[in-house]
Amino acid sequence: MKPTPRSKQRGFTLVEIAVVLVIIGLLLGGVLKGQELINSAKVKSLVQEFNSVSTMVYGYQDRFRFLPGDDPRVADHVNGTLATTPANSTGNSRINGAWNSATATDESFLFWQHVRLAGLASGATAVADANYLELNVENGRIGVSSENPTSNAANFPGQFYVCSGGLTTRFARQIDTTMDDGATNTGAVRTLKADGTIATLTANDEGDGNFYTVCAAY
Beta bridge partners of 142: 164
Beta bridge partners of 143: 163
CA distances from 125 to 111, 132, 166, 191, 215 (A): 10, 7, 24, 29, 24
For residue 34, the model assigns a pLDDT of: 62
Beta bridge partners of 120: none
Q: What average pLDDT does the structure give for the chain?
A: 89
Give yes or no for a contact between 144 and 108, defined as CB atoms under 8 angstroms apart.
Answer: yes
Residue type, 71: D
How far is 145 from 106, CA to CA, in rounded Å? Answer: 10
Give the torsion sign (CA, 104, 213, 177, 32).
negative
Q: List pLDDT tens digits, range 42-97.
A: 999 999 999 999 999 999 999 999 999 999 999 999 998 887 766 667 899 999 99
How far is 112 from 11, CA to CA, in rounded Å? Answer: 67
User: Residue ranges per domain, the chain?
Assistant: 39-217
Class for the domain spanning 39-217:
alpha beta
The segments of the chain whose pLDDT lies below 70 read 1-11, 29-35, 37-38, 85-88, 153
For residue 1, the model assigns a pLDDT of: 55
DSSP state of 193: -
For residue 207, the model assigns a pLDDT of: 84
Q: Is the pTM of this model over 0.95?
A: no
